[in-house]
Amino acid sequence: MNTARASITVLAGGKSERPRRGSGGGATHAPAWQDELLRTREGDCRATAGNLQLILRNDEAVRGLFRYNEFTARVDVVGDVPGPVALPQGPLTDAHLAALGAWLSSKKTYALSAKPPQIAEAIALAAHEYAFHPVRDYLRSLAWDGTPRIETLFASYLGARGSAYESRVAQMLFVSIVARVFQPGRKVDTVVVFESLEQGTGKTTFIHALLRPDWCVDPVETIGSRDFLMAIRGAAIVELGELSVFSRADFAKIKQAITVQVDTYRDPFARCVASYPRQCVFVGSTNQDDWNRDPTGARRFLPVRVSAIDLDGYLSVRDQVWAEAVHLFDAGTDYWTLPATAAAEVDERFDDDPWLDPIAYWLAGKCEDKKYPVEIDMRSTADGGGVRRVPAALLMQHALGIETGKHTRAEWSRVVSVMRRLGWRKERVMRNGVRAWEYVRPTEDADVVPF
């Protein structure tokens, strides 16, 4: 009886080769690129990095299926991974790796048995050949109709006053976002803060709809931590929700975090440290009007008071707003020069310490004479009166009535913040042979007391 056998080709050296497999399954006329695949004696593909690259870049079933997202610095699946189960497109997951591994190992394809980490590494490399940036692509796809909208946007859709200050802040916000997207790592150290005195005005919804909701995040991780940096990667807008709950220490962390231009860290399970130039801009929101905890002025924060938010109205012109922002960026529009009234605007939001008024009143020389002992350097009436310089301990004793033996670190910190807020500078001096701190009046102008 004749028995059918698979044909065997005898090669030089006496080795035999079976017909090569491919995504078409057992075809004798395999694509030319498959000649480069390394195989076992049985004709199966070896699980090598080179073989995986050849397959991912040439097999029509998977070529271009994995693309490197330059915005998120991750791999996206943009089609259907071959296999019996339909998996969702989007960021690469373990399920995608398992499906691709099963397809590669099938006798109908390559009989290539590779481990998930090996497959993931091959995908990461091949995906760079099809790199893309979704936000940049969206912005460059827009065509501006020539109608300016940004300068009046806050008044038109947020119920703001329509001042020159707000027009400038709107321009800074939109152009800075475009700058960070097109040129990651550009210096952007300002934070626009949308505030209203009522809850439910839709500030957060508006912030997330500024560009696209999936390009905005509201991280809950500790500011500055690696988890926080990972959370803001792949975001164009980062909302700092309810600024009023942040302490002075939190504000210091926020100021430090927003000035960073490049984040450097190692992803979990990654072998190498990587650097990620910032592509995001921070935007704040609050329901209070005294959210500023920074006694130095918080110049980086630009408050905008909103009332009735017309989200549908904004969405109807959103593409044109961003088209205008791209036009302004391409024209070299300055997004870093602060409005002339920025300092005054943020100063109105400062959460003053209750000690500020009595200290300012005492420094102005308005209290009764017995509160100014001879060791305190006073100005003459002709010079405007008031205290010229004062040791910190005497300030606490006579302005606040706290005896020297009862001074605590917490009270010292409060006095330091108040004096910084009032603009007084601190100097180290020798007093009675002992080094001590004294506060010195910032100018010799007449006192301006908040009463």
| Residue span of the structural domain in which 218 resides | 135-347
Other beta carbons less than 10 A from residue 412's beta carbon: 14
Q: What tens digit of pLDDT does each residue of 178-206 get?
A: 999 999 999 999 999 999 877 788 999 99
* 450 is a domain residue: no
Contact between residue 60 and residue 123 where contact means Cβ atoms under 8 Å apart? no
Mean pLDDT for 217-231 is 91
Q: Among residues 292, 313, 347, which one ends one of the domains? A: 347
* Residue with more model confidence, 4 or 155: 155
* 446 is a domain residue: no
Contact between residue 285 and residue 211 where contact means Cβ atoms under 8 Å apart? no
Q: What tens digit of pLDDT does each residue of 340-377 get?
A: 998 888 877 776 677 888 888 889 888 888 888 888 88
User: Cα(426)–Cα(140) distance, rounded to whole angstroms?
Assistant: 52
C-alpha dihedral, 244 to 246 to 249 to 251, nearest 10°: -70
Do 326 and 228 belong to one domain? yes
Do 197 and 248 belong to one domain? yes
Do 427 and 389 belong to one domain? yes
Contact between residue 196 and residue 203 where contact means Cβ atoms under 8 Å apart? yes
Per the confidence metrics, is the pTM higher than 0.85?
no
* 271 is a domain residue: yes
Q: Name the burial class of residue 400, with classes exposed (0-12), middle (13-18) and buried (19+) by CB atoms within 10 angstroms of its CB.
A: middle
Q: Helix, strand, or coil here: 387?
A: strand
Q: Name the burial class of residue 138, with classes exposed (0-12), middle (13-18) and buried (19+) by CB atoms within 10 angstroms of its CB.
A: middle
* H and E: helices and strands count for the chain: 14, 16
Do 204 and 191 belong to one domain? yes
* 451 is a domain residue: no
Band (pLDDT 50/70/90 cuts) for residue 316 is: very high
| Residues pairing with 427 in the sheet | 438
* 2 is a domain residue: no
Q: Among residues 131, 155, 172, which one ends one of the domains? A: 131
* 397 is a domain residue: yes
